[in-house]
């Protein structure tokens, strides 16, 4: 069956009965997922039956791909590219920064999702952590707030360096003034000494 035989769209409450039956075959928590039914995308066959579904949970500009399910996994190769196209469109519309998933199908790594490194894991929303490991992630775009924060930190560093340079220049000026004053004092002492010597010699008896 070709991918054109399926239509991918957002799930509606009218799909809930079919979704629940699908989730049961996957042994998912149907109660939890039912409360989030509208975050699912569904692949609908020409006869109106759901061939598969996948969820995209969005928090803090992060998108979690989850709970992939198929009635017949022989359709997965045709449907997954359609899901991926749909997920990317949603990511663009919502301005997502990253995709995350715990799905294990090789397809997701082929799409560019790779094991998350420690730095990336720091961006994972706290509610998704719960001690889980094995996250795959894909960076979609730069975080403007991080760029602004980095620019702000750089500006603070430049300002701190400017102030330090000013202090150094101020200390240098103070040292120069002190050196000049010391030199003048020494010259004054030399002049006074010279005058005293001359006066002493002038008043010596001949």
Reported as a single tens digit per residue, the pLDDT across 98-134 is 999 999 999 999 999 999 999 999 999 999 988 778 9
For residue 35, give the DSSP letter: T
CB burial string 100-116: b at 16+ within 10 A, e below: bbebeeebbeebebeeb
- pTM given for the model: 0.69
Burial tier of 148 (Cβ tally within 10 Å: 0-12, 13-18, 19+): exposed
What digits encode the pLDDT tens for the residues 25-62? 999 999 999 999 999 999 999 999 999 999 999 999 99
């Amino acid at each position: 069956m070709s991918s054109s035989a399926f239509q991918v769209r957002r799930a509606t409450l009218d799909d809930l009965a079919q979704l629940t039956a699908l989730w049961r075959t996957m042994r998912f928590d149907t109660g939890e997922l039912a409360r989030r039914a509208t975050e699912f995308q569904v692949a609908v066959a020409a006869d109106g039956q759901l061939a598969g579904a996948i969820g995209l949970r969005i928090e803090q500009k992060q998108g979690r791909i989850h709970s992939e399910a198929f009635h017949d996994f022989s359709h997965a190769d045709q449907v997954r590219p359609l899901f991926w196209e749909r997920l990317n469109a949603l990511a663009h519309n919502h301005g997502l920064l990253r995709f995350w998933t715990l799905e294990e199908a090789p397809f997701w790594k082929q799409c560019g999702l790779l094991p998350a490194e420690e730095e990336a894991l720091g961006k994972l929303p706290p509610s998704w952590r719960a001690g889980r490991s094995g996250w795959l992630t894909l960076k979609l775009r730069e975080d403007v707030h991080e760029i602004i924060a980095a620019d702000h930190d750089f500006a603070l560093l430049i300002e701190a360096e400017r102030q330090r340079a000013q202090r150094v220049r101020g200390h240098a000026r103070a040292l120069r003034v002190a050196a000049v004053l010391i030199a003048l004092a020494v010259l004054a002492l030399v002049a006074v000494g010279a005058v005293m010597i001359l006066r002493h010699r002038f008043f010596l008896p001949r």
